[in-house]
Structure 1
Amino acid sequence: MSAFSPKTMASLLRADALNVSRDPMLMIGIVMSMLPVPLIVVFGPLAETAASETFGITGMARLLGALAVLMPGAMLGWVTGFMLLDDRDEAVLMVLETTPIGRNGIIAYRLVVTIVLTVIVSVSIGFFVLPALLWTTPFLMAIIAAGHAVLSALFLLAFAANKVEGLALTKLINLALLAPLAALFAPPWRYLAAIVPAFWIGEMTGISPTALSPLPATVISLATTVLFVMFLLRCLDRRAD
């Protein structure tokens, strides 16, 4: 039995939707993924004017829009990570090892669903808050955001022993949300943040005249994401639980 068969997928999706609806913390996480949109609509023009008049920086609204595109990846990845931590705390993952789906099957299913949801939500946000950019750019940003979601979920599962530790590690994960802001710095200093895949979303806003174009930025971000995923999966395989 595969976790991706239509019948199994339908059952798993119903169960996950029910679990999320019963957990206020996870529901808040999902709502938070959409929160930046109205804030950017209201305060984006003000931030653009303030940055231009005070620091001579143009494109601040685009950079804030890019952060809004990234936010669903951070929050949905966090929700997925906590669901997997909860399953491990309740020994659900251990029980699944004895089923045809297996532990790896449920993890793969959750990650794929997270990727799909992140792309859908992030693309929708991108089209709304970044209308000045070429339509392909929000889509490429959403792909990077989906990679960020996978990394967030796997990081929690690989390094947190339980949900309490997961909350502590969430603060570390949230630092990655600041990486796109490095686009405000001149090269080569901003590339110190390039090891973080989310950094390349900031490059794609074109806020700097020396910024890399969207497609190469996406390729580099995905390559870095794959390397981190391989590292995290290796760490996860070494866990005894």
Structure 2
Amino acid sequence: MELFRTMLLSELRNILRERMTVLMLFMPLAMGVVIRVLIEREIVEGDVLGVLAVVCALLAGFMYGALAGFSLLDDRDDQVLLSIGISPYPLWAYVWFKVGFSFLLAIGAGVALIALSGAVPMGTGDMVLVSIASAAQVPIVAFLVNAFATNKVEGFVTMKATGFLLLFPIGGYFFLDAKEWLFAIAPGHWAAKAVQRS
């Protein structure tokens, strides 16, 4: 239990020590407030509102996946992964702890984003389920960022490139027939469809 608490505090310090990761931490919540203002002022309505609802469902999972990816990149730069590799604690457990931590943050932020935005009229249980489906993007984005980047600059470019994964669920929003299965390869597809059907 002491090891878990130490790792949790270390991960929080790691996230809060840089402005970019702090911005990534709070970006989905800020987006929720912006979307709420756009809806209340009736700037957004109709199909655009539907697309914004899908974006609300997808954004937290993607952003927190990138956050986990940057956290792992930090550890690689600081030689933390090398140090853990020679310790009795398994490296895979450390990596999955970081990804799992971001996964849980993504669920909480997803619920907050959907609730704050007001773009999707659904109950709390449905918000949690959609947020869990969206959080499935966390490991994929985190590992993609780390597979193709060796430092934070490359990580940022890779994160931007993995943004194409968000295009599939948004594209699938416009289809309700068999064509929607062409877009099902993206991890956020099911979260987007759950929002569309609500």
TM-score of Structure 1 vs Structure 2, range by shorter chain: 0.7 to 0.9
Alpha-carbon displacement from aligned partner over 1:97-132 (angstroms, at most 9, x marks no partner): 111223212101111111111111212322342552
**Residue in structure 2 matching 1:99, options 87, 94, 99:** 87
Greater Cα radius of gyration, structure 1 or 2: 1
Which residue is 1:224 aligned to?
none
Normalised to the residue count of structure 1, the TM-score between the two structures is: 0.72
Secondary structure at the aligned position of 1:99 is classed as: coil
Of structures 1 and 2, the one with the larger relative CO (CA 8 A, separation 6+) is 2
Which residue is 1:184 aligned to?
174
Unpaired stretches in structure 1, ≥5 consecutive residues = 1-5, 215-241
**Residue in structure 1 matching 2:49, options 58, 61, 66:** 61
Does 1:37 pair with 2:32? yes
- CA-based RMSD: 2.1
**Relative to structure 1, is the Cα distance of residues 179 and 35 closer, same or farther in structure 2, using a 3 angstrom cutoff?**
farther
Does 1:28 pair with 2:23? yes
Normalised to the residue count of structure 2, the TM-score between the two structures is: 0.87
Letter in 2 for 1:200: W
- Please give the alpha-carbon distance, in whole angstroms, between the structure 2 residues aligned to 1:15 and 1:135: 31
Q: How many residues align?
A: 194
**Relative to structure 1, is the Cα distance of residues 90 and 135 closer, same or farther in structure 2, using a 3 angstrom cutoff?**
closer
Secondary structure at the aligned position of 2:128 is classed as: helix
Contact kept, 8 Å, 2:31 with 2:113, in 1: the verdict is no
**Residue in structure 2 matching 1:124, options 93, 97, 112:** 112
Unpaired stretches in structure 2, ≥5 consecutive residues = none
Letter in 2 for 1:174: G
**Residue in structure 2 matching 1:138, options 127, 133, 136:** 127
- Please give the alpha-carbon distance, in whole angstroms, between the structure 2 residues aligned to 1:28 and 1:125: 15
Secondary structure at the aligned position of 2:136 is classed as: helix
Which residue is 1:79 aligned to?
67
Which residue is 2:147 aligned to?
158
**Relative to structure 1, is the Cα distance of residues 135 and 19 closer, same or farther in structure 2, using a 3 angstrom cutoff?**
closer
Does 1:194 pair with 2:191? no
Q: CA deviation at 1:186?
A: 4.9
**Residue in structure 2 matching 1:47, options 44, 48, 54:** 44
Letter in 1 for 2:95: I
- Please give the alpha-carbon distance, in whole angstroms, between the structure 1 residues aligned to 2:26 and 2:124: 25
Identity of aligned residues (%): 25
